[in-house]
């Protein structure tokens, strides 16, 4: 899942409007950015997400993100949302790909990446649902402005570019 993760952040913002969107975007991208950091440091094996997307790693990342957010905001209800967004990232990746249960453990998931256009539809639905929830955070007079309406279109176009890139070059490395 690529742009769909941002859809998750948008949906969380719609549920708990007091959490800054940038915090939710960072939370929803945390497993991938952690994976990229390990890859760039030469620590990660060839299989993406083998460490950062396992159940134990996601639990640790969710706890760290939640505690960091709480330390900055003292928002005890929001810390649960931030943690849930990190966990939702991993759950979404289990729908679209194959991820480990624990480092070195069995790979599980629906593997929709093998069906790029089905994956595209699923991610578009996640973006749309998240945007509808996020849209409610705006005053009624601003909900139909072009910046608000451009966001889901831009995310869907980004996802389309990812589908095309990985369809043309399925062995494209992520790091």
Q: Which of 117-121, 128-132, 139-143 has the highest mean pLDDT?
A: 128-132
**Is the residue at 174 inside a domain?**
no
Range of the domain at 68: 3-168
Q: What is the pLDDT of residues 4-29, one digit of tens each?
A: 999 999 999 999 999 999 999 999 99
**Is the residue at 27 inside a domain?**
yes
Average pLDDT of 38-67? 84
Looking at the structure of the chain, the number of domains it has is 1
Strand locations in the chain (E): 99-100, 107-108
What contacts 10, CB < 8 A, 6 or more positions away? 21, 24, 127, 130, 131, 133, 134, 151
Q: What is the pLDDT of residues 76-91, one digit of tens each?
A: 999 999 999 999 999 9
Is residue 44 scored above 70 in pLDDT? no
């Amino acid at each position: 899942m690529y742009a769909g993760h941002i859809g998750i952040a948008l949906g969380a913002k719609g549920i708990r409007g007091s959490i800054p969107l940038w915090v939710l975007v960072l939370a929803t991208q945390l497993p991938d950015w952690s994976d990229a950091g390990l890859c760039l440091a030469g620590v990660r094996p060839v299989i993406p997400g083998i460490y950062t997307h396992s159940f134990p790693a996601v639990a640790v990342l969710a706890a760290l993100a939640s505690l960091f957010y709480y330390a900055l905001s003292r928002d005890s209800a929001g810390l649960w949302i931030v943690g849930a967004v990190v966990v939702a990232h991993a759950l979404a990746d289990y729908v679209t790909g194959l991820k480990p249960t624990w480092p070195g453990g069995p790979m599980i998931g629906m593997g929709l990446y093998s069906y790029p256009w089905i994956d595209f539809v699923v991610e578009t639905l996640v973006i749309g649902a998240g945007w509808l929830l996020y849209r409610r955070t705006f005053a009624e007079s601003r909900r139909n402005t072009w910046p608000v309406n451009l966001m889901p279109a831009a995310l869907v176009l980004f996802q389309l570019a990812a589908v095309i890139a990985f369809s043309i070059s399925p062995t494209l490395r992520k790091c």
